[in-house]
A and B are shown apart, each in its own frame.
Chain A
Amino acid sequence: MSKKSRISWLLIAPLLALVVAGFILPIGYTMVKAVKNPEVSAALPRTVMVLDAWDGQGMPPNAAFDALVEDIEEGRRGREFGAMTRRLNFELNGARSVLMQTRRALGKLEQPYAETLPEAVPELATPEIWQLIKTNSNPFTASFLLRAVDLQIAPDGRIEAVAPDTAIFIDLFKRTFWISIWVTLICIVLAYPTAYYIATLSNRAASYAMLLVLVPFWTSILVRTTAWFILLQREGPINAGLQGLQIVDEPIQLIFTRFAVYVAMVHVLLPFQILPLYSVMKRQGTMMIRAAASLGAPPWRQFLLVYLPLTMPGVAAGAIIVFMLSVGFYVTPALVGGLQDQMISYYIAFFTNQSINFGMVAALSLLLLVFTGALILIARRFVPGLGTMKAG
């Protein structure tokens, strides 16, 4: 290595170390969590060992009952027991209460446990819970990733669709893409004529008009969402205005609707579409249009065959940024949308802060990351120099 490149590396090293330690490793750690499954084997080591030799058909051997009693006895106050019951309950609703019941029964039980335990906890007389423990004894699992696409591993090991009332994720992905596609389309439709108009203005007028785009662009997303949150209230200015103009008699529900999500998201993301369009249009000028006109093309042909193709890179650059940002949006839908308008991000936050299921956090993050990555790779081919804009 030459002296110069050694100095290069030396200068880059501090930032590289920070990014690797604070960003790459955390993301890697999270992705691993999407397939990691340590809870059951940590809390029930003996049971897992006994069940390992069991074929999963019929009832497990008597030794499994002894092992379960011993494992729970040992870990009854430990953190592992709670983590294990939460983990199993995620796979099978009600598993948690069966295990809690087992723990409560422990002191009163007498040997042989294979007889007394099923009497105290009737659910243990059927193979289901045992099969559940067996399938989850593997330290790695596909179940979070499967669940993220509404599939699950049945107690007997087959992959099946989850019950319709818990199948929410396919809908969630569809909804996320649907909202993002509409937001992107609306942004294009609003931005194109606007950018065109600003590009035709004199320099001085254009810079004032651009100020009206740049000020919201620089204003935080939260402040802009707050503005819509206030505007769309039941007693808010819009409802007051509609009533004042006697368009409606009663205040209408605007906030916590899909309409609110569209309006606020388009408002937040529109500058990302206008800015690249404007810079392309500014460079393009109207020379080509005039050339086309002088050759006798009617206006619609000038536009469709000349101007639109020339400005397409601006449309694409803006649309990709808007779409990418929409797919990962959290703050705006969380504030102005109802429960039916939430996107993937909402569930990542929900599983982190409320239902504390880090496996699902990881699985949804992984899917979102893979999707965004694929999008960037596709976009790179069309829009060189992508990723140099402010992302939020």
Chain B
Amino acid sequence: MTRIFVPIFAWLVLFFLVAPLLVIFPLSFSSGEILTLPVPGYSLQWYEDFFLTERWLDATKNSFIVGIATMVIATLLGTTAAYGINLTDFRGKTTVLALLSLPMVVPLIVTAASMYLAFSVVGLANSLWGLIVAHTIVATPYVLITVLASLQTFDPNLMRGALSLGARPVTAFREIVLPLIMPGVAAGAIFAFATSFDELVIAIFITSPGEFTLPRQMFAGLREFLSPTITAAAVIMILLSFILLFISEAVRRRGERLTAGKVNQ
């Protein structure tokens, strides 16, 4: 009984997980105005609409600006902080770590509303800068965690060796530590970009129509009028997630090879 029932059940659940995403693809190529299946015919009109409409293009551009800025700042700050935390046992280490990962456990809606209220006071609300600051804060914990994990496999003697041979600390970090923890840093960076690119709740609070990001523009589109252009936007976002997933898997495998190589030595 269970031998037949469990696999059928499992495949139904897996189907449930992917089917909604697959449905969007044919709909985005539909030549009809109404979102229903089977589609009356195929056309590229919704992609054309996406790439020719200023609102969608601006939103995509803003998403990339905010995503890349978040990735750069979060990776920089997260990696430095992770290295600092890993360097030595100091008093208050667990408190600092808990404090820095707090943005990950506080409900996003609370973070978003609080940032909106406080950022309005200092003039950061309704600006891309405010969104970059907010996304950086939400994304750094992921960088921190992945970099800390890869630092744990790093042998501090290598750093000591470099220093004893006369390398300046910054040079030693760049030449010795960074290449070895690179998979962790890269995974953190990808995660930071993905977090920012997908983030909607904070964007709802601290952007105004001029600086909508892609998810924010989709949300507005869904609530106001259901234009099939949204399906094209969704497909573009799915493809981007795919690309990021594959890059992160490649980075992870490379990281595994690196650590495996170390063990073999």
Residues of chain A touching chain B, judged by Cβ–Cβ distance below 8 Å, are 1-2, 4-5, 7-12, 14-16, 18-20, 22-27, 29-30, 33, 190-191, 193-194, 196-198, 209, 212-216, 218-224, 226-231, 233, 235-237, 240-241, 267, 270-271, 299, 324, 327-328, 330-331, 335, 344-345, 348-349, 352-353, 358, 361-362, 365, 368-369, 372, 376, 387-388, 390-392
Contact = CB atoms under 8 A, between A and B. Distances in A.
A390 B136 CA distance: 15
Contacts of A196: 6, 10
B28 to A, nearest CB: 10
Given A235-B34, A361-B117, A369-B107, 20 more contacts: A8-B88, A9-B90, A12-B81, A12-B85, A16-B96, A18-B140, A19-B102, A26-B115, A193-B9, A193-B13, A194-B9, A197-B7, A218-B245, A221-B198, A222-B200, A237-B27, A237-B36, A240-B37, A335-B219, A344-B109
Given A197-B10, A387-B105, A349 B113 contact: yes
A349 B241 CA distance: 27
B99 interface: yes
Interface residues of B, number: 84
Q: Which of A25, A193, A358 has the most CB of B within 10 A?
A: A193
Nearest to B10: A197
Given A331-B201, A335-B222, A352-B113, A223 B88 contact: no
A335 B37 CA distance: 21
Contacts of B2: 299
A232 B105 CA distance: 31
Given A26-B114, A222-B200, A335-B222, A212 B104 contact: no
Contact of A220 (B23, B77, B121, B198): B198
B234 A368 contact: no
A220 B222 contact: no
B69 interface: no
Contacts of B16: 190, 267, 270
- For the residues of B in contact with A, the DSSP-based class is helix
Contacts of B85: 8, 12
B18 A227 contact: no
B193 interface: no
Nearest to A6: B90
A331 B219 contact: yes
Nearest to A190: B13
Given A218-B244, A365-B114, A328 B107 contact: yes
Most interface-central of A9, A12, A215, A390 (chain B CB within 10 A): A12
A33 B81 contact: no
B21 A224 contact: yes
